Structure formats: structure tokens, C-alpha cells
A and B are shown apart, each in its own frame.
Chain A
Amino acid sequence: MSILISKDTRFIVQGITGREAINLTRENLDYGSKIVGGVTPGRAGRDVYGVPVYDCVRDIVKAHGAVDGSIVCVPPRFTQDAVFEALENEVKLIVVVTENVPRREVAQMVELAELRGARIIGPNCLGMISPDEAKMGGIGGPAANTRQAYTPGNIGVMSRSGGMTTEIASTLTNAGLGQSTAVSIGGDAIIGSSYAELMPLFEADPDTKAIAIYSEPGGRMEAELADWIRTNKSRLPVVAFMAGRFMDEMQGMRFGHAGTIVEGVEDTTAEKIKRMEAAGISVAERIEEIPELLRKRLAEVN
């Protein structure tokens, strides 16, 4: 079992003829994902590694029936429109890869998604993977590299950093711990699905036994996660890795993702670590400590 995506998920790629999208399409197909079509306006009739290209989402749906998901991989100024297009064609799971989309546009996308009963992952993310089932997005890179980093198992992974999702999974795999699903949730200040919003899915997945997250300064997402764990008396032990400790001394400077800035005490790693530990989340100082901490916490549960 897994969350969000399985080998039966049928999805499309918006912006499929771009440099990054071409790459990601090949990698997803190689990994076994089902991509039914792609969109690039004005390029209907082409194909990318056998995936037919259409001018709009509507035409794909007409030709191939309803689709479950879409990867949006278009330049920032076209991103909102692409997401609206997917939502209005009843796509319920949208992975937004694009970086540098202004907050207002993201908030509007997310609000429309709520109205349409759809879920957005990202923006500024690499998507997600249920190892040996399917992946949706650039997560893990080429299929062979992806198999090296991700193996099926019982750890759910969530990360604000796309790259660190794979770094963590790779560390878990090396230590003999597989993953149920790994989600790169995106590093922007406003994202479609936060840690706390994905927790109920992992909680309901019988194959997920523990959670590993990557965390960094800025935002209130860790506080939200801590609250969720406490209110819902979560059965899942959580281990977090906290990066960007040097930023605590550098108020007002922006490093890393758009959401990463220390503006007040609540944004600092020191404060976040305190809050997470109070909610029973174990915090690792180095990535290589994660597997050991997970094993310890899993042993406590059993």
C-alpha cells in the first residue's frame, strides 16, 4: 500500500515539450508510470517518447477519458492558468513542479482546488513516488537512479526540499528501511499540501509505520504538524532532520526556498526543534542519524 499514487494512477504532463518535462516524462515512463497524454499549446499531433501531445487538457480527456492526475511543468507565468485548466477538467491530483510562482497565484490555485475537491502537491516540488509502483514527477531522477534510492517499505517521507527527499530515502534504503510513499511537498511559503495535511493519509495507510521529514527555517508548518500529532494522538512515530541552523544568526536574510527566512523567533530552527520535541518528534542533527532514530522509535511502539 501507499498514498496518493499507485501503478494504476493515470496522469498527464502539462508543458510536456519543455526541456525538463521531456526528461521527466521519459523517467516516469521508464519507472512504470502511466502517462496518457501531454499538453503544449500549438504542438498537438507531436509525441514525446510515445506520449501523444495535445493543445489542451480537454482534448486529452476527450480522447482518453478522465485522468487521475497532472504534472504541471510550465514557466511561472503560465503555471496558474495550467493548474486552473487541470482543475476545470476534473483532474483531482496536481503536482506543480514550477518554481518562483508568486504567492497570490499559488493561493488562488489552492483555493480553487479546495472548491473542486482536488489536491495540489507543490509548487516548487519534485512530486512523489510509491517505490516499485509508480512515480509522478522528477523525484529520484532516471528510473535506474530512482531504484537505487527508493525501495518499498514502511517509512513515509515528506520533505520541503525535493533533493533532500531523495537524500533521505537513499539513506533509509542504505540502512535497510524501505518507504511506503515519499512526497516532495515543495519549499514555497504557500503550498498545496503541508506535512499536517498529508498525515491523515499516512495515518490511514496500514503499510506506513513511521514518518521521516526534512525541515528548515521559516513558516509554521512544523508547528502545524506538532499540533496535528497531538490532537489526533497519531500512531506514527516521526523523525525530523533540521537544516539551516546557521540561519538562526542571520535574521531577515533569505536562503534556500522562498519560504525559508528567519523573520521572528518562531521561524528559527531552535524554536522549531523545541516545538517538535515537545510533540514527541525526534530531531536528527545529521541525516545519517535518521535510520537509527526511526528504529529506536519503532521498537518503542512495538
Chain B
Amino acid sequence: MPGLFIDVKVDPEVAKDATLAAKLAEVCPVSIFKASERGLEIVESELDECVLCDLCLEVAPGKVEIVKLYEQK
């Protein structure tokens, strides 16, 4: 489930890439990404805490999308 304000969409490819998952978990300052044995998990309860810092986009260019739900009609 997305947050009220923010949704984070991740390319399914990344979800399986353990190294990239670990990197995402490390850079996100509000712990939206969680790296587990199964790959990447999105911590839904934290989605609305996203600070739009773009650090996840930097480590996984083109593979992560931050959606601002308040910009949608």
C-alpha cells in the first residue's frame, strides 16, 4: 500500500539484486528500504517519511521512482 503522500516504486530487477538492495538500505536516511535475504523490501509505514533527498535515485538510476501522490488529481 502506498502512503498518503508518497509512493516508492522499484524495478523488480532491483528487488533481486542483493548488493543494490543493501546500498539502498544504507543511503535512505529514513529507512524506507530494507535489505533481507529475499532481496529488497519497502517499509510501507515509513513511506510518508521520505525526505525527497534523491539518494536512492543516485545509487539506482532509472530503477527507483518516487511518486508524489499529492501532485496527482
Chains A, B in direct contact (C-beta < 8 Å): yes
Indicate if B67 sits at the interface (CB-CB under 8 A). Answer: no
Q: Which residues of B contact A23 (CB under 8 A)?
A: 51, 53
How many interface residues does B have (CB within 8 Å)?
5
Q: Are B55 and A22 in contact (CB under 8 A)?
A: yes
Minimal beta-carbon separation of A143 from chain B (angstroms): 15
B61, chain A: closest CB distance, angstroms: 15
- Residue A233 lies at the interface, judged by CB distance under 8 Å to chain B: no
B27 to chain A, nearest CB (A): 9
How far does the alpha carbon of A22 sit from the alpha carbon of B51 in the complex, in Å?
11
Specify the chain A residue showing the minimal Cβ separation from B58: A49
A64 within 8 A of B: no
Cα–Cα, bound, A18→B51 (Å): 13
Q: Verify if A104 is at the interface (C-beta below 8 Å from B).
A: no
Q: Which residues of A contact B29 (CB under 8 A)?
A: 18-19, 22
Q: List A contacts of B55 (CB < 8 A).
A: 22
Q: How far is the CB of A42 from chain B (nearest CB, A)?
A: 12
Quick one: which of B29, B30, B51, B55 has the most chain A CB within 10 A? B29
Chain A residue with Cβ nearest B26: A46
Enumerate chain B residues within 8 angstroms of A26, measured Cβ to Cβ: 53
A 9-25 to B, binary, CB cutoff 8 A, 1 in contact else 0: 00000000011001100
A242 to nearest B CB, angstroms? 35
Least distance between A142 CB and chain B CB atoms (Å): 11
Q: How far is the CA of A19 from the CA of B27 in the complex (A)?
A: 10
CA distance A80 to B38 in the complex (A): 41
CB distance from B31 to the nearest CB of A (A): 10
B residues in contact with A18, CB < 8 Å:
29
CA distance A256 to B30 in the complex (A): 27
A20 to chain B, nearest CB (A): 9
Expressed in whole angstroms, the Cα–Cα distance for A18 and B29 within the complex equals: 7
Residues of the A chain whose Cβ atoms lie less than 8 Å from the Cβ of B30: 19
> Distance in Å from the Cβ of A75 to the closest Cβ of chain B?
14
CB neighbours of B53 from chain A (8 A): 22-23, 26
Contact with A along B7-42 (1 / 0, CB 8 A): 000000000000000000000011000000000000
Q: Which residue of B lies closest to A48 (CB)?
A: B55
Return chain B residues, CB-CB under 8 Å to A19.
29-30, 51
Question: Shortest distance in angstroms between A117's beta carbon and chain B's nearest beta carbon?
Answer: 36
Residue contacts A-B, CB under 8 angstroms, 10 given: A18-B29, A19-B29, A19-B30, A19-B51, A22-B29, A22-B53, A22-B55, A23-B51, A23-B53, A26-B53
Closest 6 CB pairs of A and B: A19-B29, A22-B29, A22-B53, A19-B30, A19-B51, A23-B51
Known: A22-B29, A23-B51. 6 other contacts (CB 8 A): A19-B29, A19-B51, A22-B53, A22-B55, A23-B53, A26-B53
